[in-house]
């Protein structure tokens, strides 16, 4: 029995979903005019996260700075995204796809694979996909592309062909005619760097990549990646549609400043914020982290990062924050302006930390209580995108385990 995989991809998802909402409110449809969705439109460092088709026709690309997009189209409509609405649209979209096949893998907020092997035949696959596509459009008001293939790779490549509101096939026997002429960059997993390396070697199309010897390819990109690229360029992929939702392996948060900063107080404020957010998330998901990492990014986009292993896994904001604080001087000279600062946790476990009550720092009581209060407030203010957090966090001045926020200043913990 042949495998039949569909890849369903929402066209310009964030613009489409916002468009549906605005039309419902009786407002003009932003999908029909040059428009983009970005983060904070007033922030000159925002980037375009989605562009309408008329905007794409003017050369606006995702992701590019909003300022650059505005230069290409001075009358561009710039909208801020609405994550609550996006989640709703995504759920509805996935729900309809799942009704066509329960063997579904959500690939991102606006993409999924379904295994249709038991649900259709190669002969009627296009008809079934067209029905699914129209079902979504007529029920939810936005369009999707459906790619059909004998594996996930081919289905995904196919959904990327002409847009919007289209169904395309990419069966194995269509690979030479439909996939091999494409530029090598169009192949999944071939990004900017890999493209540069391949082109420097004279490989411009997926077909040329499919034909290259393994020895050369291994020298260019390494053994493991070479095997994958070679298989994929030949249209081969045996990865299954994964229905299990994998547990997160890491959590991170970062903040980019409006202007590059040098004041250590500003850097610490940002670290404090991202630590609150990351620690809150792992508590919400009942994790503890063994590894804390932090990084700073400079104006030339170079990144300096550092990670450290905690004595025992923790979900306490103070522990995580102070681990990051300790690493900052090791990667930052204190004078170079910083563009962005970030904090991450990894090596996650659900195990409770071993309670060494006799040895545990008595201040931990306080820090856990502080976290508990933070989590409660976050739940209460969930509707608000931002919550002003003014709680003073210094129980013991000058303790080794410092968890203090400069008096009188506010910490803003963004959603």
Sequence-ordered list of residues with C-beta below 8 angstroms from that of 224, at least 6 positions apart, any chain: none
Which segment (142-150, 232-240, 291-299, 385-393) binds DNA by CB under 7 A?
Answer: 291-299
Q: Is 311 in the site for DNA (CB under 7 A)?
A: no
Angle at 186 between CA 206 and CA 91, to 5 degrees: 135
Q: Binder to DNA among 82, 134, 174, 195 (CB under 7 A)?
A: 195
Stretch that binds DNA, among 97-105, 169-177, 218-226, 375-383 (CB under 7 A): 218-226
SS3 165: coil
- Within 10 Å of residue 45's Cβ, how many Cβ atoms? 15
Minimal distance, residue 170 CB to DNA, in Å: 15
Task: Give the strands of the sheet with 48-51, arranged side by side.
Answer: 48-51, 35-38, 77-80
The correct pick among 28, 32, 42, 44 for binding DNA (CB under 7 A) is: 44
Q: Is residue 49 involved in binding DNA (CB under 7 A)? A: yes
5-10, strands of its sheet edge to edge: 104-108, 111-115, 5-10, 144-149, 167-170
Among 20, 23, 47, 53, binds DNA (CB under 7 A): 47
Of the candidates 84, 111, 311, 382, the residue annotated as catalytic is 111
Pattern 375-414, binding to DNA, x per CB under 7 A? ----------------------------------------
Residue 42 as a binder of DNA (CB under 7 A): the answer is no
> How many whole angstroms separate alpha carbon 28 and alpha carbon 51?
16
Count, residues near DNA per rule CB under 7 A: 60
CA distance 225 to 356: 45
- List Cβ neighbours of 325 (8 Å cut-off, separation of 6 or more): 268, 271, 402
Q: Which is nearer to DNA, 11 or 128 (CB)?
A: 11
Using the rule CB under 7 A, is 215 a contact of DNA? no
**Contact present, 155 and 148 (Cβ < 8 Å):** yes
C-beta of 128 vs 282, nearer to DNA:
282
Return the residues of window 9-38 that contact DNA according to CB under 7 A.
none
N- to C-terminal Cα separation, the chain:
47
Is 311 tagged catalytic?
no
Q: Which stretch binds DNA (CB under 7 A): 39-47, 84-92, 113-121, 176-184?
A: 39-47
Q: Which is nearer to DNA, 11 or 194 (by Cβ)?
A: 194
Which residue, among 174, 178, 169, 184, has the nearest Cα to 233 in the 3D structure? 184
DSSP state of 276: H
Given candidates 108, 124, 263, 410, which one binds DNA under the rule CB under 7 A?
A: 108
347 near DNA, judged by CB under 7 A: yes
* CB 300, min distance to DNA, A: 7
| Site membership for DNA, residue 253 (CB under 7 A) | yes
With binding defined as CB under 7 A, does residue 254 bind DNA? yes
Residue 40 beta carbon to DNA: minimum distance, rounded to whole angstroms: 8
- 312 near DNA, rule: CB under 7 A: no
Side-chain-side CA neighbours of 360 within 13 Å: the count stands at 15
DSSP string, 232-267: HHTT--------SPPPPSEEEEEEEEEEEE--HHHH
Q: By CB under 7 A, what part of segment 322-341 binds DNA?
A: 339-340
Q: Which is nearer to DNA, 117 or 228 (CB)?
A: 228
Distance CA(277)–CA(328), nearest Å, equals 18
- 35 membership: H or E segment, kind and range: strand 35-38
Residue positions annotated with a catalytic role:
111
- Chain residues binding DNA by CB under 7 A are 39, 44-47, 49, 63-65, 67-68, 71, 107-111, 188-195, 222-225, 246, 248-256, 274, 277, 281, 290-291, 293, 299-301, 303-309, 339-340, 342, 344, 347
């Amino acid at each position: 029995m042949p495998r039949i995989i569909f890849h369903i991809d929402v066209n310009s998802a964030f613009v489409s979903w916002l468009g549906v909402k605005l039309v419902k409110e009786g407002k003009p449809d932003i999908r029909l005019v040059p428009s983009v969705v970005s983060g904070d439109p007033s922030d000159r460092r925002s980037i375009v996260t989605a562009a309408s088709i008329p905007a794409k026709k003017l050369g606006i690309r995702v992701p590019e700075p909003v300022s650059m997009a505005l230069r290409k189209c001075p009358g561009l409509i710039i909208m801020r995204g609405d994550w609550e609405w996006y989640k709703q649209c995504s759920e509805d979209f996935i729900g309809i796809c799942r009704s066509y096949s329960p063997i579904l893998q959500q690939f991102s907020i606006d993409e999924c694979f379904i295994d249709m092997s038991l649900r259709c035949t190669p002969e009627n696959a296009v008809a079934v996909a067209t029905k699914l596509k129209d079902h979504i459009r007529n029920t939810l008001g936005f369009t999707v592309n459906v790619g059909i293939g004998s594996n996930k790779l081919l289905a995904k490549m196919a959904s990327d062909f002409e847009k919007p509101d289209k169904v395309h096939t990419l069966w194995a026997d269509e690979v030479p005619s439909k996939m091999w002429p494409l530029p090598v960059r169009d192949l999944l997993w071939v990004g900017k760097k890999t493209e540069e390396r391949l082109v420097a070697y004279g490989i411009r199309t997926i077909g040329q990549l499919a034909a290259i010897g393994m020895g050369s390819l291994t020298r260019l990109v390494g053994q493991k990646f070479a095997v994958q690229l070679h298989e994929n360029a030949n249209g081969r992929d045996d990865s299954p549609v994964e229905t299990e939702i994998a547990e997160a392996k890491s959590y991170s948060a970062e903040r980019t400043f409006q202007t590059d900063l040098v004041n250590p107080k500003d850097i610490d404020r940002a670290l404090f914020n991202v630590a609150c957010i990351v620690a809150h998330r792992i508590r919400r998901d009942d994790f503890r982290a063994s590894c804390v990492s932090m990084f700073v990014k400079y104006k030339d986009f170079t990144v300096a990062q550092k990670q450290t292993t905690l004595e025992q896994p923790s979900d306490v904001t103070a522990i995580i924050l102070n681990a990051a604080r300790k690493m900052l001087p090791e990667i930052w000279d204190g004078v170079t302006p910083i563009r962005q600062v970030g904090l991450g946790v990894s090596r996650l476990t659900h195990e409770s930390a071993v309670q060494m009550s006799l040895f545990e720092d008595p201040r931990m009581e306080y820090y856990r209580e502080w976290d508990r209060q933070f989590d409660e407030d976050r739940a209460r203010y969930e509707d608000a995108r931002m919550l002003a957090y003014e709680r003073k966090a210094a129980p013991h001045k000058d303790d080794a385990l410092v968890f203090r926020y400069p008096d009188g200043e506010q910490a803003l913990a963004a959603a």
